[in-house]
């Protein structure tokens, strides 16, 4: 502990030179003039004559700072691809602090080109050692049944992300379990962010400003989870004019409105989405569609003077559905009698909170304070009287202080989160069980991001302390992320690596043998057991093969210790009997991105193909097994052809079969004691499972085709998207009910059409 | 351009082919376990009974005798490996309290201590599950009476019995032989099995001799009703215990307190190609003559009134 403290001060001393030597400071925000959204990655340079004096890139808020400028005459130039550059001459004196707010206008000649912009389908420039930076345009290019894109569908195309089916919203990331993922919206946790139909989440394209998705190896600012982080920043509303959109589609219809409350200073954005699939297509080719979901979102953002920003975010989601909506007999062709026992799974999220950002006028420090509350309720059972209920309620406050340097930043931060967990289980085969727990987590971290060796090297070392204050337990978690550009940032090659240690005190209990069961009861690590721990290591190589073709290769290893796993039970019940397990996940993926390539009939082609090989292995009690999310091979391909206003997208997904525990049949069990008479007592029904997860489901494959026409007339944009989901009507297995020996298939061939009208 | 088109085709071909994979799945994987059996051979019974459940892909749920599951493909035999006699068991579709039916098998024979019995359950395709049990035999010198009777503060009299060398007791009955004018009777009083041996590692019972007099009195009153006798003096002439012990293959179940572990298919099972337990009990009894002096110390003789409540 002592050594860590000294190390931190040493880090501060090393980099304090940058600050004390400053003479003049330039800083400001860069936004898109058309909608006032921040432009991340804009290039800001300071020139003296033709010589480059200093430079920086804007961060996720569109913010930049350049310090240590000597008095003199300069030109400040801000540029971003597709936008007209902005230039201003400056006369700086010692101690000057200049603030800028620059709105870049789109270059008229490039507007048409941008429709087929190169990074539309997850270009490799967004990939770095487990980090995928997602922008709305990329989300839009992954088709979903509807008109707008959704982050959930985009994530499914990322190598290493395993989804169990097209319903349920369960995501497994590079070998991690569902409960090891953390989703954040404007810094606040969303415990079940994905909707009951897995194409959709609480993060539609219209509301996402940017998203950082770490499939592992995340930096020191994140903690409390051991697999992945999805950090979504919601858009601020338009501060110049009223804008909005309405879309109508059977799966999901939506309305969004945004605009200034005080022009140029305060804006608001509101969105509501609702699925009408249950009402409009209750039965589709023999498959029932008993799903209902929706979400409501709001954000108010205010610029207060030149130094302060304040925002409030609200999100409310609800989902319910009978996951086993339609069952077929084991031999497929005969539809079983309609099984409708009115059993459904339901969940709700509610998140609300605010963020205050302060940028000092005197020193290059940005402070960000976030506070809020997240709630989640999950229920399973007959409608109106669920047999199982679980709740998670957390309140938290976090502070991050960033000291901006010319070549990076130094950040320290802390999060205090108090979480109340509860569950009630009242299953047929389970004794009535209730639990109420409380957990207080304190997370403190320090990290720095530095660009070194003439921008050939970028390092992001850090350390995260994860403490459970009510248990007097704490862990130090070193982290490191590195990127190397051997031939400079404009060169063809980039090598990335990340490494870190992570702990997690929350565990989500699910019955992993029942793939169709989405109920999760959250508990803390059992007394006497160490918190779950994982170590991640990722290395990757990005290469620009041709001007239009790039590639990336990444390999990962995740080691798990102290996982909490249910004890295998032969009874058909949700069990709270737990055991400690260890595990490891490792694999590699390769992807190719085709960008802006002329194709047939004067169209332009974009696309990506990715292949992942990975394996996950757990050891629990006497068993060594590959858990239910061990997808060994996965292939995703998205190809988009654009000609003028018309675009055609074809998506193909292929996955090898997921493990499941086969049935060895059923029998009855007696605890033979002198009180038991086998002639008169029924005994207890028992399923005879084969070796845990010893079987494999059939492979999964799906092809979707979408045709879109987008027409722009001034500020109005009309979009029509029509397509077919599961074009070859493949009977992909979703889950098997071992008790009735009936199967539930994923969605069949589904035609869909949707319309969207936008006012920009 | 031609190369590009070719590349696209090459990429698409395996994708399209992979889409033609088989999607059929039969998650039933069992060609080695055929039957589950629960039951035991009981030397106190002439008719032996076991329950047999075929291990099939569907849970057994028989609501009527005409249902498919009401018919069972199983022939059941026991062979006494000690004297090479065979017995064919009879099938019964027995209705239970909840109205459902189960498959029971019965056989009438006397279980012999020390003999080895092998149970064979045979399907028509000659697939077979089997289990073997050795009927336990307790040597008479393996249990002892502890020191003499104990008189508690409430004047009740107890006799403590312990069983060194006996690993598992199924149950125990105290046996009282009483005599009176024209009257001789043996009264059996059942004692619940302790959950576990005592702190000294021995199975131990406290026979409540005073409380057990109620059973003796009740039987005497029934005798007196028949003979129209108003009063009957009876005294204790012999005291004994009769107990059943569990065979060694079955006994591990009683050492495991974890129900989840116990219920795992195959745990502590002695059934080959199946699940469950086919056990046996060994019967043993020991009696001691009671002298008039000891009988007096134990609260005898007593005078039974026909109308006296007990």
Q: Is the dihedral of CA A80, A84, A85, A90 positive or negative?
A: negative
Which tens digits make up the pLDDT trace of A587-603? 999 999 888 888 877 88
Whether the pLDDT of residue A654 is over 50: the answer is: yes
**Closest residue on chain A to B31 (Cα):** A664
Does residue A440 have a cis peptide bond before it, meaning omega lies within 30 degrees of 0?
Answer: no
Nearest by Cα to A631 from A192, A144, A173 = A173
A112, A41 in Cβ contact below 8 A?
no
> What is the mean predicted confidence (pLDDT) over A462-490?
92
Nearest Cα residue to A507 out of A525, A483, A495, A482: A525
Average pLDDT over every residue of A182-201: 93
In this predicted structure, the answer to whether residue A10 has a pLDDT above a threshold of 70 is no
Instruction: Decide if A460 contacts A447 (C-beta within 8 A).
Output: yes
pLDDT for the residue numbered A244: 94
Residues of chain A above pLDDT 70, percent: 88
d(CA B214, CA B205): 19
Does A334 reach chain B within 8 Å, measured CB to CB? no
Mean pLDDT of chain B: 86
Over 90: is that where the pLDDT of B90 sits? Answer: yes
Is residue A622 very low, low, confident or very high in pLDDT (cuts 50, 70, 90)?
confident
List all residues of chain A from 536 to 555 with a beta carbon under 8 Å from chain B. Answer: none
DSSP A374: E
- pLDDT for residue A7 is more than 50: no
Q: Give the confidence band of A227 by pLDDT, cuts at 50, 70, 90.
A: very high
For A112, A426, A560, A597, A644, the CA distances from A109, given in Å and listed in that order, are 7, 65, 53, 19, 15
Say what the pLDDT of residue A511 is.
64
pLDDT at A747: 84
Helix (H) or strand (E) holding A489: none
Residue B3 sits at φ, ψ, to 5 deg, of -65, -35
User: How do residues A688-741 score in pLDDT, each as one tens digit?
Assistant: 888 888 889 899 998 999 999 999 988 899 999 999 988 888 888 887 777 777
Least confident of A325-329, A402-406, A703-707: A325-329
What's A361's DSSP letter? S
The mean per-residue pLDDT over the stretch A70-97 comes to: 85
- Phi and psi (nearest 5°) for A497? -150, 150
Q: What distance in Å separates residue A341's CA from the closest CA in chain B?
A: 19
Residue A281: Cβ-neighbour burial (10 angstroms; 0-12, 13-18, 19+):
middle
pTM of the model as a whole? 0.79
Cα Rg for chain A, rounded, in angstroms? 27
Q: How many Cβ pairs within 8 Å bridge chains A and B? A: 154
Work out the pLDDT band at B13, boundaries 50, 70, 90: low
B23·A682 Cβ contact <8 A:
no
pLDDT band at B1 (very low <50, low <70, confident <90, very high): low
User: How much is the pLDDT for A198?
Assistant: 87
Note the pLDDT of residue A202: 94
Residue with more model confidence, A351 or A3: A351
CB contact set of A170 (below 8 Å; sequence gap of 6+) = A163, A164, A178, A194, A198, A518
| Residue B17: predicted pLDDT | 59
A14-49 tens-digit pLDDT: 444 444 444 788 888 888 887 777 887 788 888 888
Interface pTM, i.e. ipTM: 0.85
Rank A362-376, A418-432, A502-516 by mean pLDDT and report only the highest: A362-376
CA A635, CA A346: separation in Å to the nearest integer?
31
pLDDT in tens, A146-173: 888 899 999 988 888 988 777 777 889 9
pLDDT in tens, A497-540: 999 999 999 888 776 555 456 778 888 887 777 899 999 999 99
Of the candidate ranges B92-96, B155-159, B260-264, the one whose mean pLDDT is the lowest = B260-264
Instruction: For residue B20, name the pLDDT band (cuts at 50, 70, 90).
Output: low
What was the pLDDT predicted at A688? Answer: 85
What Cα–Cα distance (Å) separates residue B27 from each residue in A329, A486, A510, A744? 12, 52, 21, 13
Among B100, B84, B103, B82, residue whose Cα is nearest residue B92: B103
| Phi/psi-derived region of residue A342, left when phi > 0, alpha when psi is between -120 and 50, beta in every other case | left
Dist CA A75 CA A48 (whole Å): 6
Share of chain A above pLDDT 90, in %: 40
**Does the pLDDT value for residue B194 go beyond 80?**
no
Mutate to test the interface with B, among A330, A648, A674 (most CBs of B within 10 A): A674
Taking an 8 Å cut-off on Cβ atoms, the answer to whether A699 and B11 are in contact is no
Q: Tell me which of A47-51, A143-147, A639-643, B15-19 is least confident.
A: B15-19
pLDDT surpassing 60 at residue A295: yes
pLDDT digits (tens, 9 = 90+) for B50-59: 999 999 888 8
Mean pLDDT of chain A: 83
Can you give B38-92 as a three-state secondary structure string?
Answer: EEEECCCCCEEEEEEEECECCCCCECCCCCHHHCCCCEEEEEECCCCEEEECEEE
- List of long-range contacts for A615-618, beta carbons under 8 Å, 24+ apart: A615/A175, A615/A585, A615/A586, A615/A587, A616/A175, A616/A583, A616/A584, A616/A585, A617/A583, A617/A584, A617/A585, A618/A560, A618/A563, A618/A565, A618/A581, A618/A582, A618/A583
B258 chain-A contacts, CB cut-off 8 A? none
A733 touches chain B (CB under 8 A): yes
- How would residue A397 be classed by pLDDT, with cut points 50, 70 and 90? very high
Residue of A nearest to B42 (CA): A674
Judged against a pLDDT cut of 70, whether residue A1 lies above it is answered with no
Give the residue from B63, B133, B196, B264 with the most A CB atoms within 10 Å of its CB, the best one to mutate: B264
Name the band, by pLDDT with cuts 50, 70 and 90, for residue A127: low
Least confident of A255-269, A462-476, A693-707, B200-214: B200-214
Which of A43-47, A408-412, A753-757 shows the lowest per-residue confidence on average (mean pLDDT)?
A43-47
CA of residue B268 relative to chain centroid, distance: 15
Does the CB of A748 have a partner CB in chain B at under 8 Å? no
DSSP state of A21: T
Asked whether the beta carbons of residue B275 and residue A736 sit closer than 8 angstroms, the reply is no
| Number of separate helices (H) and strands (E) present in chain A | 5, 49
A624 burial level (CB within 10 Å; 0-12, 13-18, 19+) = middle
Q: Which of A332, A701, A739 sits opposite B18 (nearest CB)?
A: A701
* Helices and strands, number each (H, E), in chain B: 4, 18
Lowest model confidence (mean pLDDT) among A351-360, A449-458, B20-29, B154-163? B20-29
Compute the average pLDDT of residues A255-278. 92
Instruction: Give the DSSP H or E segment for A175.
Output: none
Q: Residues A224-239: what's their mean pLDDT?
A: 93
Banded model confidence at residue A370, pLDDT cuts 50, 70, 90: very high
Strands (DSSP E) contained in A11-153 are 25-32, 43-48, 51-57, 63-66, 72-79, 86-92, 97-104, 127-128, 131-134
Three-state DSSP class for A2? helix
């Amino acid at each position: 502990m002592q050594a860590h403290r000294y190390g931190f001060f040493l880090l501060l001393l090393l980099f304090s030179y940058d600050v004390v030597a400053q003479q003049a400071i330039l800083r400001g925000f860069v936004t898109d003039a058309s909608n006032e959204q921040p432009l991340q990655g804009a290039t800001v340079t300071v020139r003296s004559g033709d010589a480059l004096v200093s430079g920086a890139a804007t961060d996720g808020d569109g913010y930049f700072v350049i310090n240590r400028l000597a008095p003199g005459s300069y030109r400040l130039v801000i540029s971003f691809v597709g936008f007209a550059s902005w230039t201003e001459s400056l006369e700086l004196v010692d101690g000057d602090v200049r603030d800028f707010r620059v709105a870049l206008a789109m270059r008229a000649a490039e507007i048409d080109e941008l429709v087929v912009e190169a990074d539309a389908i997850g270009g490799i420039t967004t990939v770095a050692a487990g980090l995928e930076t997602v922008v709305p345009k990329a989300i839009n290019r992954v088709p979903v049944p509807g008109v707008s894109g959704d982050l959930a569908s985009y994530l499914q195309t990322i190598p290493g992300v395993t989804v169990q089916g097209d319903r349920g919203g369960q995501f497994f990331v590079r070998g991690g379990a569902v409960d090891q993922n953390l989703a954040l919206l404007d810094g606040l946790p969303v415990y079940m962010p994905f909707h009951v139909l897995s194409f959709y989440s609480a993060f539609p394209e219209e509301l996402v400003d940017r998203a950082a998705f770490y499939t592992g190896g995340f930096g020191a600012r994140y903690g409390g989870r051991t697999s992945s982080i999805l950090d979504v920043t919601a858009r601020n509303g338009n501060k110049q004019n009223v804008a909005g959109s309405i879309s109508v589609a059977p799966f999901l219809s939506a309305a969004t409105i945004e605009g200034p409350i005080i022009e140029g200073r305060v804006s608001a954005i509101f969105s509501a989405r609702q699925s009408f699939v249950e009402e409009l297509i209750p039965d589709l080719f023999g498959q029932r569609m008993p799903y209902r979901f929706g979400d409501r979102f709001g954000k108010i953002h205010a610029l207060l003077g030149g130094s302060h920003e304040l925002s409030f975010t609200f999100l409310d989601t609800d989902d319910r559905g009978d996951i086993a909506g339609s069952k077929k007999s084991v031999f497929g062709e005969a539809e079983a009698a309609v099984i409708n026992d009115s059993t459904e799974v339901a969940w709700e999220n509610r998140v609300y909170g605010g963020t205050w950002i302060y940028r000092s006028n005197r020193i290059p420090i940005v402070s960000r304070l976030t506070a809020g509350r997240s709630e989640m309720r999950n229920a399973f059972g007959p409608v109106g009287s669920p047999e199982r209920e679980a709740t998670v309620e957390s309140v938290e406050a976090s502070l991050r202080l960033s000291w901006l340097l010319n070549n990076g930043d130094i950040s320290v931060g802390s999060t205090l989160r108090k979480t109340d967990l509860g569950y009630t289980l009242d299953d047929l085969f389970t004794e009535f069980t209730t639990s109420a727990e409380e957990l207080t987590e304190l997370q403190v971290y320090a990290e720095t991001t530095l660009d070194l060796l003439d921008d050939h090297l970028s390092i992001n070392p850090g350390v995260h302390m994860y403490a459970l204050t009510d248990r007097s337990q704490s862990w130090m978690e070193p982290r490191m992320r590195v990127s190397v550009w051997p031939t400079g940032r404009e060169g063809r090659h980039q090598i990335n690596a990340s490494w870190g240690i992570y702990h997690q005190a929350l565990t989500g209990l699910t019955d992993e043998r029942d793939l169709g069961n989405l109920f999760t009861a959250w508990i803390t690590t059992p007394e006497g057991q160490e918190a779950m721990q994982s170590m991640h290591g990722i290395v990757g190589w990005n290469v620009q093969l041709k001007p239009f073709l790039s590639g990336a290769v990444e390999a990962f290893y995740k080691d798990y210790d102290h996982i909490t796993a249910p004890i295998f039970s032969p009874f058909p019940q949700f069990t709270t009997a737990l055991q400690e397990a260890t595990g490891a996940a490792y694999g590699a993926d390769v992807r190719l991105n085709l960008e802006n390539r002329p194709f047939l009939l004067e169209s332009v082609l974009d696309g990506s193909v990715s292949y992942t090989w990975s394996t996950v292995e757990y050891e629990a009690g006497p068993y060594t097994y590959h858990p239910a999310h061990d997808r060994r091979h996965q292939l995703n391909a998205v190809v988009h052809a654009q000609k003028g206003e018309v675009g055609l997208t074809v998506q193909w997904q292929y996955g090898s079969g997921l493990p499941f525990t086969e049935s060895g049949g059923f029998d009855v069990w007696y605890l033979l004691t002198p009180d038991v008479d086998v002639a008169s007592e029924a005994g207890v029904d028992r399923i005879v499972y084969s070796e845990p997860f010893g079987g494999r489901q059939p492979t999964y494959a799906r092809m979707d085709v979408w045709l879109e026409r987008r027409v722009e007339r001034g500020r109005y944009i009309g979009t029509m998207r029509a397509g077919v989901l599961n074009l070859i009507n493949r009977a992909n297995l979703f889950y098997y009910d071992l008790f009735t020996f009936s199967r539930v298939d994923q969605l069949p061939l589904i035609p869909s059409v949707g319309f969207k009208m936008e006012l920009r | 351009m031609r190369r590009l088109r070719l590349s696209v085709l090459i990429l698409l071909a395996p994708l399209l082919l992979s889409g033609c994979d088989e999607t059929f799945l039969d998650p039933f994987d069992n060609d080695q376990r055929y039957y589950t059996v629960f039951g035991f051979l009981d030397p106190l019974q002439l008719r032996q009974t076991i329950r047999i459940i075929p291990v099939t892909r569907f849970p057994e749920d028989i609501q009527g005798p005409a249902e498919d599951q009401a018919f069972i493909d199983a022939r059941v035999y026991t062979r006494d490996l000690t004297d090479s006699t065979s017995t064919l068991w009879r099938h019964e579709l027995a209705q239970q309290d909840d109205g459902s039916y189960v498959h029971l098998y019965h056989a009438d024979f006397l279980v012999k201590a020390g003999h080895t019995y092998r149970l064979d359950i045979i399907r028509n395709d000659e697939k077979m599950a089997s289990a073997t049990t050795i009927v336990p035999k307790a040597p008479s010198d393996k249990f002892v009476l502890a020191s003499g009777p104990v008189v508690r503060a409430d004047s009740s009299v107890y006799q403590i019995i312990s069983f060194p060398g006996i690993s598992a007791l199924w149950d125990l009955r105290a046996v009282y032989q009483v005599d009176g004018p024209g009257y001789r009777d043996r009264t059996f009083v059942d004692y619940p099995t302790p959950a576990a041996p005592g702190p000294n590692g021995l199975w131990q019972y406290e026979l409540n001799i005073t409380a057990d007099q109620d059973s003796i009195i009740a039987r005497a009153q029934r005798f007196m009703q028949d003979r129209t006798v108003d009063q009957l003096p009876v005294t204790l002439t012999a005291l004994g215990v009769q107990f059943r012990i569990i065979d060694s293959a079955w006994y591990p179940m009683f050492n495991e307190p974890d129900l989840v572990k116990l219920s795992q298919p195959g745990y502590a099972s002695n059934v080959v190609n199946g699940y469950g337990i086919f056990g046996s009990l060994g019967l043993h009894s020991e009696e001691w003559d009671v002298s008039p002096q000891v009988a007096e110390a134990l609260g005898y003789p007593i005078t039974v009134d026909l109308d006296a409540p007990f």
